[in-house]
A and B are shown apart, each in its own frame.
Chain A
Amino acid sequence: MSSETKQILTTDGIPLEVSLKKAERKNKIKAFLLVAPLLLFLLITYVFPIGDMLMRSVDDKMVTEMLPKTFKAMEKWDGNELPEEEVFAAFHSDFIKLVEEKREGKLSTQLNYTKNGFKSIIKKLRRKSKSFEEGNYKEQIMSVHKRWANVEYWQAIKRRAPAYTGQKYLKGIDMFKNETGEIVSVPKDRRIHRILWLRTLEIAFFVTVFCFLMAYPIAHLLATLPMKYSNLLMICVLLPFWTSLLVRTASWMILLQQQGIVNDFFVWTGLVTDDNRPEMMYNKTGSYVAMTQILLPFMVLPLYSVMKTISPSLMRAGKSLGGTPFVAFWKVYFPLTIPGIGAGCLLVFILAIGYYITPALVGGASGTLISNQIAFHMKSTLDWSFASAMGLMLLTGVLVIYWLYNKIVGIDNIKLG
């Protein structure tokens, strides 16, 4: 405000600008207070626990805390040849303490993750260490087993010194840090996770494509039919949408089984012989078919809501200007539906990439996705830090798509039903 213009005052003598700002701030606080309960609730119960997953996935404090003196002594060791007596003595003192606390088993499990062969030599060391004499621990420990005299095992221990590690993430893409600290891939026959990631992307991609190909014509039909017919047909889209996921998966299990209706139909048409019915479930086919049908409504609804806004006169105009119906469709109608296509495809892709229930039930071994692997590590191997790491890798991918979705469609424009 320039100094010449007289400030406008409110009735109580405060400059109008100040008073307005105050009112504005009050309104902001009011609006924020309304959102605050939910925001706080979600932050505590949901957002922070996801951060907790991040901590768990890189946390490697267990060994660090078990062998504090050893790692202190190892700081001076260059790691090329066998360490000095000082390290052995420190290791012995840490080890005795662990044996007293009955935690040496945990140590051997942990070290075995880094290098195979620790389990037996730690057991042996526990037995022999009772009769150890004071001093010259290097000789005494090395005499327990020849692996204790092998520098590779000491290098393996040193690798566990940092309290944080990215090794679970490397494991998630079938890589690891070898003895010399290089990051290399695991042998070809043990690369299970890369296959799973690729398969997840592949299935999510093709399910999205199938959904698009099937949803486009029916969304168009729904958008162009008179209201009284389209309302009726809309139920065909909405009823599956509201029906339990498990019910729909169950119906596919009935349809796709070997003696099921789909196979009966194939036999009836003569496509296959009765004793040669194809397996359509417990493999990729099962995942594809069931996931496409289950996710189809999520593609139809955004497409429909965009097509509904396109005036039919545009197509007529295109035709009257000399375009054939195909040209008019391709040059006029299709480009107008691209926002809907983007929204639908991103939504279906996001949902498909994290699918768990349906692949677990109809996917068999060749149709399971990365989510199934996460669940497996949460429930069966109990390697929660690995499950967290893989979950976060998946989450990163989804958040990138979510961000794209926000850019293209806008989160506020999500419509339901």
Chain B
Amino acid sequence: MRILAIDTSNQLMSVALIDDDRLIIERTVNVKRNHSIQLMPAIEEMMKEAEWRPKDLTRIVVAKGPGSYTGVRIGVTVAKTLAFSLGIELVGVSSLEVLAANGSQIEGSYCVPVFDARRGNIYTGLYQYQNGKLVQVEKDTHISAVQWAVYLKQLEGPVQLLGEDRLKHSDSFTKECGEQLIDLPTSRHYARASVLAERGKIRKPENKHLFEPEYLKLAEAEQNWMEAHPDFEQGGGWIEKL
């Protein structure tokens, strides 16, 4: 299985080529730059370096969000279009799960990935290594950092916060669960496409056409509209062929 893995869900961009159980190339860039400008050139360069042709790929794995709306969409658009036009498999993995997998396998401890979501909110989830396997304990969510810290406190187990953005909310986390927190080496706080590929390797392929980002949040206008129209039955139908 030849996998191209793509994560552009936050400022960091990570792309990897994996051949079965071997990592061929991984490129992780953490500079503030536009993913639309840097993603495709990175893929092209890495494929060239690996001497792979697009037709050699068998699966695309993409971090499907949550994260920056635009960032996630760039990764998902490139991934689903590549998979669709090459006729190969597409797999989406939670962007939070990719980061959670960087946690240490400490029995009974929680891996808690954190992405800043502005206005005191975060995207986060609750994961745990059980018998060497990463298991999702709580669904990924969009929540206030303070609320999440209070929730983690009552879990009482050791907590590994993951991601650079944890630092933006360290006050809340230190206050509520100071004793529970386990410090990890710096390298663990960055999502890696090689890890993403690994997570994506064991999953069933998606329906490519229907695949879309996991935003975990409605657009603000839509949220307001739904609140004003509580009786409206969802079912799409918004798109019309001309």
* A in complex with B: no
Give B contacts to A, CB under 8 Å. none
